[in-house]
Homo-oligomer: A and B are copies of this chain.
Amino acid sequence: MQTLTVGLGTRSYPIHIGSGLLDRAELMQQHVPHGRVAIVTNTTIAPLYLERLQRSLRSIDTSSVSVILPDGEEYKNSETLNLVYDALLKNRCERTTPLIALGGGVIGDMTGYAAATYLRGVPYIQVPTTLLAQVDSSVGGKTGINHPLGKNMIGAFYQPKMVLADTDTLNTLPDNELAAGIAEVIKYGLIRDLEFLEWLEQNMDKLLARDTAALQYAIERSCRNKAEVVAADERESGERALLNLGHTFGHAIESGMGYGNWLHGEGVAAGTIMAADLSQRMGWLGVEQVARIRRLFERAGLPVTGPDLGVEKYFELMGLDKKVEGGRMRFVLLKEVGRAVVQADVPQQLLRQTIQACAHG
């Protein structure tokens, strides 16, 4: 087991990464003062891992209430959230009853948001079971739900007490979800860790073959990058925005295609190519560098063109981005491979060209 720390003063917390951690509930013990937790999971994960986690919890004399939600981004909304609140209230969960998010990014985001808002805030623990959640969404306290008009529009910054990433759970992950997670892994390389990007170029085949050591390394290095960024800028007033490389385009794709039709990581992959293309039009990247980035995503089996929503629809959806300020869209672009920046003044014409060039899938 590897342990990293997200350094946030009194709200600092550990990320444990390793094999078999689902069986090690004793790691959570200090956060369960009354021997009772509420596990939030979904219909896909429950048959695979719920009983195992419950057994593990019983070994520390902890009983659990379970809330099993439908699986998919299309359920990351206020109706599903209300199912969580209803279950917590009916089971008399208290201010000291921790929630445990057992699942991927959707479960983690919704459980974290439920924890942020139930009784004005209860503790929660992330137990991510997808690569995307293990390398990105379970770390850093971004929680929330989607709104019909935009992704993650309703939410809170609310940090977990702990992240417990059992890498064994990746054995049951479908290939497309593994690839979706790799999109976020590549992101760290592109925005701030060139050495890691080069490692990914050399080890992509191992990751796709689910080589244990390679996956473990990629998760740990991704989490280290994420933890550093979050510790420096928890509420995204600066550097943290860079983690959104590809996300302005990607969220537009996800929302424009209807939640659940593109995986988040797939939207991020196509969105990152669009951001790279735009960076090239800004004169920052060369054509060969954009090609290099595209090649890496292609090797992971990820989409490298966006769907043809039409330029105006892209503009409309991106205008709702959380980074918009004073009516101006702001984009995360690449100054070079391995270094991202936030850019407010992107000529509309270049943006139009990028959408026309990259969104015809």
Instruction: List chain B residues, Cβ under 8 A from A90.
Output: 149
A96 at the A/B interface (Cβ < 8 Å)?
yes
Contact A157 B96 (CB under 8 A): no
Known: A120-B144, A325-B95. A156 touches B154 (CB 8 A): no
Contact B235 A121 (CB under 8 A): yes
**Chain B nearest CB: distance from A128 CB in Å?**
20
**Chain B nearest CB: distance from A325 CB in Å?**
6
Instruction: List chain B residues, Cβ under 8 A from A95.
Output: 322-323, 325
A116 at the A/B interface (Cβ < 8 Å)?
yes
Q: Which of A160-190 contact B (CB under 8 A)?
A: none
Contact A322 B120 (CB under 8 A): yes
A78 at the A/B interface (Cβ < 8 Å)?
yes
Separation of A323 and B235 alpha carbons in the complex (Å):
29
Separation of A89 and B86 alpha carbons in the complex (Å):
27
Q: Which of A117-143 contact B (CB under 8 A)?
A: 117-121, 142-143
Instruction: List chain B residues, Cβ under 8 A from A235.
Output: 120-121
A326 at the A/B interface (Cβ < 8 Å)?
yes
A313 at the A/B interface (Cβ < 8 Å)?
no
Instruction: List chain B residues, Cβ under 8 A from A119.
Output: 153, 155, 322
Q: Which of A217-253 contact B (CB under 8 A)?
A: 235
